[in-house]
Structure formats: structure tokens, C-alpha cells
Amino acid sequence: MITASLPLLIADTAAAVDPAATFIRLLTVFLLAMWVGFEVITKVPQRLHTPLTSGSNAISGITAVGAIVVAATVAAAGYRFGNLLGLLAVVLAMVNVAGGFVVTHRMLEMFQPKKK
């Protein structure tokens, strides 16, 4: 498994992993996921495009994963300014995530048949 942490990229152990290989691997993932996205999303009916937008919006909050890692990785030398930026990123990304999923749920509930 290729470890994902940054120090590896700049330390001399990086010689073990060809950076171009890492890039091609991620590019593969990127293009295939784009393709899957196009295939799946063209089948969503127009009536549901607003919940689709807000739902995908919530998923774009995935950047919270990066925010958590950078905020909670503290160097041996101590906290750095980057940790503070990371914490701010966690707040913003979680607004995106929670807001997106909750509002999507709220909208989809309105599309359900009403109980008489």
C-alpha cells in the first residue's frame, strides 16, 4: 500500500515510490469516477434536479477528510499555523456536509405521497 502522508513525498524515502506513478493512479481514479458520474447522473429526472444539486453539494464536503487529517496532524516541533487553517476548513466543510444532507432530506420528504 502506498502511504498517503506528505512527509513521504519530500523525504528521501520517496525514491521508493515514483511520483509519476502516483499521479497516473489518481488520474485513473479521477477519469473513471467522472465517467461513472456522467453515466449515473444523466439518468436522474429533471424533477429531482434540485435535490440532486444539494445532495451532490453535500458530497463535495468530502474535503472535510483532508481538513481532519491536516488539522489533527501535529508536527514534533509543535502546532503550526496550518493546524489552525485546518480547523477552520473542518468547520466550513462540515457546514457544507450537514447543510447539504439535511436540506436534501427536507426536500425529498416533500416529494413523498402525503398520508391522508
Partner 1 sequence: MSSQAWINLAYLVASMLFIVAFKLMTGPRTAVRGNYLGAAGMAIALLAACFEPSVQETLAARGAWPLVLVALAAVVGAAIGATMAIRYPMTGMPQMVALLNGFGGAASTLVAGAELWNATATAREAASPLPAWTQFAIATALTGLIGAVTFWGSLVAFGKLEELPQFKKAWTDPNRHWINLGLGLGTLLLLWGVCANPSSNLLFWALVIVGSVLGCTLTMPIGGADMPVVICLLNSYSGLAAAAAGFVIDNSVLVIAGSLVGASGLILTAIMCQAMNRSLVGVLFGGLGTTTAANADDVYAGKVKSASAEEIAMVLEGADRVVIVPGYGLAVAQAQHAVRELANALEKRGTTVEYAIHPVAGRMPGHMNVLLAEADIPYEKLREMDDINPTFPETDVAIVIGANDVVNPAARTDPKSPIAGMPILDVDKARTVVVVKRSLSPGFAGIPNPLFAADNTLMYFADGKKAILDLTSALEKG
35 to 64, contacts with partner 1 by CB under 8 A? 35-38, 40-64
> In the chain, what are the helix, strand and coil shares in percent, each to the nearest 5?
80, 0, 20
Instruction: Please say which residue, 16 or 113, places its beta carbon nearer to partner 1.
Output: 113
Cα 107 to Cα 61, 96, 104, 110, distances in angstroms: 19, 16, 5, 5
Instruction: Please say which residue, 4 or 16, places its beta carbon nearer to partner 1.
Output: 4
Site for partner 1 in 13-32 (CB under 8 A): 19, 22-23, 26, 29-31
Residue from the set 13, 16, 18, 97 that interacts with partner 1 by CB under 8 A = 97
Cα 33 to Cα 40, 74, 77, distances in angstroms: 10, 32, 39
Site for partner 1 in 63-92 (CB under 8 A): 63-77, 80-92
* Cα-Cα-Cα-Cα dihedral sign, residues 70, 76, 79, 81: negative
Tell me how far, at minimum, the Cβ of 16 lies from partner 1, in Å.
Answer: 14
Tell me how far, at minimum, the Cβ of 76 lies from partner 1, in Å.
Answer: 7
